[in-house]
A = this chain, B = another copy of it.
Amino acid sequence: MSVYTPAETARRSGFSLDTLRYYEKIGLLADIERTSGGQRVFTDDDLGWLGVLRCLRDTGMPIAQMATYAELCRAGADSEPERLALLRQHAVRVEEQMQLLGRQYAHLEEKIRYYAERTGARSG
Seen from chain A, the residues whose Cβ lies within 8 Å of a Cβ on chain B are 52, 54-56, 58-59, 80-81, 83-84, 87-88, 90-91, 94-95, 97-98, 100-102, 104-105, 107-109, 111-112, 115-116, 118-119, 123
Contacts and interface: CB of A to CB of B under 8 A. Distances in A.
Contact of A90 (B87, B95, B108, B115): B108
State the copy count for this chain: 2
Contacts of A81: 119, 123
A9 to B, nearest CB: 19
A102 B56 CA distance: 12
A108 to B, nearest CB: 5
B80 A109 contact: no
A105 B91 contact: yes
